[in-house]
Amino acid sequence: MIKTSRQMKDAVRTLSVAAAALGLMAGCASTPAPTEQMALSRAALDTALSAGGNEYAPLQLQAAMNKMDAAEKALAKEDYAEARKLAEQAEVDAKLASAMARSAKAQKASEAVQDDIRVLRQEIDRNAK
Amino acid sequence: MQKNRYLPLSLIAAGILSACSTVPPQNATLSDARSSYNSARSNPQVTKLAPLELKEAGETLDKADAALTKGETETTVNQLAYLAKQKVAIAEETARRKNAELEVASSSAKRDQVRLEARTAEADAAKQRAEIAQQTADQRAQALAVASAQSQRDQTLIAARLAELEEAKKQAAIAQQASDEQAAALTEARIQAERDQALINARMAEVEEARQQATLAQQAADQRAAALAEANAKAERAQALIAQQEMQLKELNAKKTDRGMVITLGDVLFNVNKAALSSGGIANVKKLAEFLQKYPQRNVVIEGHTDSQGSDSYNQALSERRAEAVQKTLVEMGISRDRIATRGYGESTPVANNETAAGRQLNRRVEIVLPDAVPDAQR
C-alpha cells in the first residue's frame, strides 16, 4: 500500500496544479497565514509517527504526510486558504492514524492476554491428564 | 485512497465550473459524514467510551451543516464534512482502543485466576506425583525387604558354609597335629636310637675298660698272690723265729701272760734283805742277757716285789733296789741301759698269801717282763 516516490510526486503535482488553479480562479477571500494550524498539524504528525502509525495505520499516516507536504507548498505559494484546508485534513488524518495505532496496540495486548489464558488452560488440561 | 485522490480533483473541477455560484442544498460528502456519525452514535460502545471525541465530531458536522445552510462554498462544506467524517472515525477508533484496554484489564484478572488454577493443578499434579512416588517407594521398600530377606538367607547359608569350612580347617589342623606328633615321635625314636647307640658305644667302652681293668686286676691279683706268697713265707719265717724265741724263753722259765713273757727271779736268787743277786740268780740273768743280745730289738721291764713284812717304805725301796740290781747286772753283761726299764712295786702286788712263810717267799721276787714284740722278721 505504500506508494512509490513517483506516485507521490504525481499526487503532489496534481494537488499543486489544482491548488494553483483554485488560487488563480477563485480568489474570492483573502485569508491570513495558517501558522498555528501548521504547527498543530506537524505536532499531530509527530505524535502519530511516535505512536507507531507507520506500522498500524500506514494509509492514514501516508495521507496525512502527503497533505502536510501539499500544505507546506501552498503555504510557500502564499495560498493560505489551501494551506489551512490541507493542514486541517492532515491533522485529523494524523490523529486518526494515532488512534488506530493505539487501538491496534491495545487489541494486540488484549489478544496477548487471551493467548496467555489459552496457554494456561492448555497447561491445566495437560497436567490434569 | 485512490478514490480520495481523485475526489478533490473532481470537486475542484466542479468548483471551477460553478465558481461562486449558489450552493445546492445537498452535499454527498456531508451525507456520508452524517451517515457515519449516526452509525457511531447508535453504537453504545462509542457513546460510552469516546463521548468527547463523538461530541467533537458532532460539532464539526453541525458546522458543516451550518455552512451548507448559509450557502458557503462547497469546498468549505466538503472540508468540514471530511473533518467530521475523520473525527467520527477517530471516535470509533478511540472507543475500540478503550474497549481493548478494558479487555486487557479484565483479562489480566482472568489470567491471574487461570494462573492460580494452573498452580493449583500443578500442585495437585505434584501431589499425585508424590503419591505415585510414595507408592513406588513403598513397592521398592517391599522389594528391598524381600531382597533383604533373601540376602539374610544367603547370609545364613554363607555362615553355615563358613562353619563347615571352619570345621574342615579344624580337622585339617588336627590331622596336621597328628602328623606333627608322629613326626615328633619319629624324631624322638631316632634320637632314642641314637641315644641307644651312644649307650651301646658307652657300654662297649665300659666293657673295654672293664676288660682292661680285669686285666689290671688280674695282674694286681697275681702281684698280690706273689706278695701273699712272699708274706706267707715271711710269716713262716717269723713263726719259726717266734718258736725259736719261745723255746729259748722256756729255757729261762718264762711264762706267757697278758703283759707278755714274764721271767720270775725267785727270792732264793737274792741274798736275804739284800739287793745283790746270789750266784744262782746271776746265772739266770746271764741266760737272759744272752737272749737279749741275740734279739736286740726286744726290750725288758724289770719289776721288784716284796712280802708284807716290814714297813711299806722299806719294802718299796727294797723292791726298787733289787730291780736296779738286775738292771746293773744286765748292763755289766753288755746290754744297753736304754733297753731296760725298772720299777718298784713294794708289797702292793702279791702273788701268794703273805700269812705263810711259803707264800711270803713266793711274794719276794723280781719279774722280768718281755713285752710281746711284733714277730717281724724284717726288724
Task: Tell if the CB–CB gap between A117 and B93 is shorter than 8 Å.
Answer: no
Answer left, alpha or beta for residue B367, where phi above 0 means left and psi between -120 and 50 means alpha.
beta
Could you report the per-residue pLDDT of B121-156, keeping only the tens digit for each?
A: 888 888 988 999 999 999 999 999 999 999 899 999
Q: Cα dihedral sign for A25, A30, A34, A35? A: positive
Q: Does B194 touch chain A (CB under 8 A)?
A: no
CA distance, residue B103 to nearest chain A CA (Å): 6
More confident residue, B22 or B283: B283
d(CA B134, CA B21): 96
Q: Looking at this protein, which amino acid is placed at residue B221?
A: A
CB contacts of B80 in chain A (<8 Å) are: none
Give the pLDDT confidence score for residue B9 in this predicted structure: 65
Residue A17 within any structural domain of the chain: yes
> Is residue A109 within 8 angstroms of chain B, CB to CB?
yes
Indicate if the pLDDT at residue A24 is higher than 60: no
Q: Which domain holds residue A78?
A: 5-23+34-103
Is the ipTM value over 0.85, yes or no? Answer: no
- Structural domain count, chain A: 1
Q: Is the pLDDT of residue B21 over 50?
A: no
B214: cell is 680285669
Strands (E), chain A: none
Q: Which residue in this structure is represented by grid cell 509517527?
A: A49
Residue B378 confidence class, pLDDT cut points 50, 70, 90: very low
Q: What is the pLDDT of residue B296?
A: 83
Task: Name the CATH superfamily, with its identifier, for domain B236-370.
Answer: OmpA-like domain (3.30.1330.60)
Give residue limits of the domains in chain B.
2-115, 236-370
A chain contacts of residue B5, beta-carbon cutoff 8 Å: 11, 14
Each residue's pLDDT tens digit, A80-116: 999 999 999 999 999 999 999 999 999 999 999 899 8
Give residue B354's pLDDT. Answer: 85
- Residues 53-82 in A contacting B (C-alpha not used; CB under 8 Å): 59, 62-63
Crossing angle for the helix pair A58-76 and A80-128, nearest 10 degrees? Answer: 160
Higher pLDDT, A26 or B63: B63
Q: What is the pTM of this model?
A: 0.43
The CA distance from A21 to the nearest CA of chain B, in Å, is 8
Does the residue A123 lie in any domain?
no
CATH number at residue A49: 1.20.1270
Q: What are phi and psi of B12, to 5 degrees?
A: -60, -40
- Residue whose cell numbers read 503419591: B131
Q: How far is CA B17 from CA B13, B28, B38, in A?
A: 6, 18, 32
Q: Which helix (H) or strand (E) holds B260?
A: strand B260-266
